[in-house]
Every structure is written in structure tokens, then in C-alpha cells.
Amino acid sequence: MPILEIKSDNQSQPQRVRLEESTITLGRGSDNTIILRNKSVSRRHIEIEFDGTHAKLRDLNSTFGTIVNGEKTQFCILEDGDLIRIGPALIKFIDQDEQIADDDEIVSFEPVITAESSDAPEPDSPRVVELESSLHERDAELERLQEELQQLRQEASTHEQQEVRMEALSK
């Protein structure tokens, strides 16, 4: 059975998680199978589906993306030794748990990988939700302003073309 070996920047030893369920999710939100608490990790970042033979990784439209073996990816079939980067976490996919020594600790779906200081707010706290809502509002406003700017540029270009035509006609 495959294992994920998860190491965060602030950990001295990696945690190992056996893929016992058919589908697991990794992300910042508390509803994930494996929780990675870091701002650069989306609430629901990736999903790994194991069908008994193959493990399929799918990026769940994360903000900062998922890197597998140095390449940004949306979907891939994991192979032994693949390295997955999600924010500060480096995850090694190990195809067979026989490759892990018997005395190494392997956990099943319990870990909370903390990639930030413990005084960071919980991802679902009212303050975090408020800030994320504010961020989404600003993103929407920025998009609206960019569209308005593009429209003004088009109008200015049209106006300049009309002036050139009028100038040509008056000569």
C-alpha cells in the first residue's frame, strides 16, 4: 500500500501516512484528510485517489498550484519516488510500504502538518474568513477596474482615430 512521506520546512522528521482510503484530500481547511496549515496552501489543494493499483493526483484549482517533480501539474498518475510540492510541504510518494523500515512510524489519517507558527489563526476562524472575503472583494474590484481601463483605452484609441480622420478631411 502506498505511503506519503510529508516534510514541512519547520519539521526535522517527515511524517508518513499510508494511503488506506480510496480518496484523500490535502489542504489548509479542517475538512481535509491531511491538513497543511500555511497561507500558500489552498483550503482544498489536492486530491489523491488510490484505486488499489494507481494513485492519481488532481489539483483542486489551488491558488498557487501543485508541483510534481519540478513541473506544475493539474493531474498526474503518481509513481514511486515522485516529489510533490505544496506550499512549504514536500511530499514523497512511496509506492510500496515495504520500502519503509518496520520501526518507522506510519500514521493513518491523523496528522495535522503545521507549516507556520502555532499562533497563526485557524483557517476557518472568523478573522481568516473575514480577510479572505475582503480579499475576494478586492480581487473583484481589481478585475472591474481592469475591464474599465481596457474600455477607456479602446475609447481613447477610437477618439484618436476620429481626430486623425477629421484632420485629414480638413486638409
Q: pLDDT tens, 24-61?
A: 999 999 889 888 888 889 999 999 999 988 999 999 99
Predicted pLDDT of residue 167: 85
Q: Is the dihedral angle over the CA atoms 82, 86, 75, 50 positive or is it negative?
A: positive
Give the least confident one: 10-14, 101-105, 152-156: 101-105
Which residue type does 5 have?
E
Mean pLDDT (whole number) for 69-81: 96
State phi, psi for 133 to the nearest 5 degrees. -60, -45
pTM, whole model, 2 decimals? 0.61
Residue type, 19: L
- pLDDT for position 43: 94
Query: Could you give the count of Cα atoms lying within 13 Å of 45 in the half-sphere of its Cβ?
Result: 26
